[in-house]
Amino acid sequence: MGVAGKHFPSHGHDAAGDEASTQQTAATQPSDERIRKESFFGHLLNRPEFAAISGTVLVFLVFAISAGSSGMFNLDGVMNWSQVSAYLGILAVGACLLMIAGEFDLSIGSMIGFAGMMVAIPSVYFHWPIWAAIIFAFAGSMALGALNGYLVMRTRLPSFIVTLAFLFILRGLTLALSIMVADRTIISGVGDLAQSDAVTNFLFHGVALHGLFTSLAHMGIGSLLENGQPLVPGIPKVLLWWFALAAVGAFVLAKTRYGNWILAVGGDANAAKNVGVPVRRVKISLFVLTAFCSCLFAVLQVCDIGSAAADRGLQKEFEAIIAAVIGGTLLTGGYGSVVGACFGALIFGVVQIGITYTNVSSDWFRVFLGVMLLIAVLFNHYVRRRVAQS
């Protein structure tokens, strides 16, 4: 009876009271300082490729104003500067990934000349099939890249010093072997061999989509020569290789475990090793990648120009590093973007060719590169401090 007559409070009233109490507590508690809202512009600043994309837009605007009516942006003009960008872009992909891992390869330029001779000498003087000479060049270049990486990891010397030594070694070997075998520093005749081999011609020589460009020219889209051939015969193979290599590199860096390893190794190699990242294997593989990119550059260039020369690739290692830095890659490692490096290479190609369409002396090109490098380094330093403080 006592129990039956006892009054119990309503459950609905309790629920409403609890909800009001929770809301009041949430209102009085301070927000978590680890969670902050970031503006859209702030998010863009934190992207490594932001500076390179902005710089590309600015460069295009400058040349659109100063050289817009000169033919620079006609189809043939676009192919000229995009081809220069593509050659450097191939090198920039490998250099960028290696720099993100905290290392440098200064032997890139010398490797280009050496790989070109590894294609030309066996095919022209020893009568190897051109495809066999190309495979030999890739195998030799990648073995030298692995040796570079092994020496850096084994001796723990700065990669700057080890690869600088290889810069001189490979350049000297290229000159010595070309004089010893051919008694000259330029070997011609490779282009005809590449064109006559079906596989090499398909992969490395000439242009793609020739029929499409011919049809477009006859339809009035593009110019025709007197012999009925289009002024722009197709897309250079180097552009297709650049797009493919950049796409693979960007995907690997952003979406795969190996890409996380590259970033971790560049950020703190000891910490990465302590959590199970194979630091040595990652770095050596990236040295192999830069050697592969150098050899690909050489093969495409030899097949396109038709000759190999001992002085090919001069200072290309510095241009690749500049493209990577303009693209947002830190010199200290651990931060960067393959897409940004490609935009850095695009800036390089547009300026190098575009300056010839203006009244500005081409002597100012190196000055522009130096200024762009300095601006990129200062901007990257600002972004790094901003990220560290956030």
190-238 pLDDT, tens digit per residue, is 989 999 999 999 999 988 888 888 887 777 776 777 777 788 888 999 9
Phi, psi of 368, deg, nearest 5: -60, -45
Calculate mean pLDDT across residues 312-337: 89
Domain count, the chain: 1
> Residue 41's pLDDT is what?
52
Q: Does 192 fall in a domain? A: yes
Could you write out the three-class secondary structure of 225-245? CCCCCECCCCEEHHHHHHHHH
Share of the chain above pLDDT 70, in %: 85
Q: Which residues of 138-167 are buried (b: 16+ CB within 10 A; e: fewer)?
A: bebbbebbebbbebbbeeeeebeebbbebb
Phi, psi of 186, deg, nearest 5: -125, 125
Share of the chain above pLDDT 90, in %: 55
Identify the residue with better confidence: 262 or 65. 262
* pLDDT tens-digit series, residues 121-132: 999 999 999 999
Calculate mean pLDDT across residues 148-177: 95
Distance CA(76)–CA(353), nearest Å, equals 12
Question: What DSSP string runs through 95-112?
Answer: HHHHHHTT---TTHHHHH
Q: Does 256 fall in a domain? A: yes
* CA-based nearest residue to 326, from 315, 337, 317: 337
Distance CA(294)–CA(111), nearest Å, equals 6
- In three-state secondary structure terms, 187 is strand
Q: Does 351 fall in a domain? A: yes
Q: Does 140 fall in a domain? A: yes
Mean pLDDT score across all residues of the chain: 85
Residue 72 is part of a domain; what is its CATH number?
Answer: 1.10.3470
Q: Which two tokens stand for residue 162?
A: 């080890």
Q: Does 165 fall in a domain? A: yes
Calculate mean pLDDT across residues 288-311: 95
**Chain centroid offset of residue 378 CA:** 20
Domain of 99, in residue numbers = 47-389
- List, in order, residues 6 or more apart from 9 with CB less than 8 Å away: none
Q: Does 293 fall in a domain? A: yes
**Chain centroid offset of residue 317 CA:** 12
Q: Does 18 fall in a domain? A: no
> Residue 37's pLDDT is what?
59
DSSP state of 34: T
* CA-based nearest residue to 119, from 200, 56, 65: 200
Q: Does 1 fall in a domain? A: no
The answer to which of 15-19, 112-116, 361-365 has the lowest mean pLDDT is: 15-19
CB atoms within 10 A of CB 378: 11
**Chain centroid offset of residue 158 CA:** 22
> Residue 361's pLDDT is what?
76
The answer to which of 76-80, 116-120, 299-303 has the lowest mean pLDDT is: 76-80
> Residue 149's pLDDT is what?
96
Identify the residue with better confidence: 187 or 36. 187
Residue 3: is its pLDDT beyond 50? no
| pTM for the predicted model, two decimal places | 0.85
Residue 40: is its pLDDT beyond 60? no
Say which amino acid occupies 40.
Answer: F
Distance CA(90)–CA(101), nearest Å, equals 18
- In three-state secondary structure terms, 53 is helix
186-190, 292-296, 343-347 — most confident range: 292-296
> Residue 26's pLDDT is what?
45
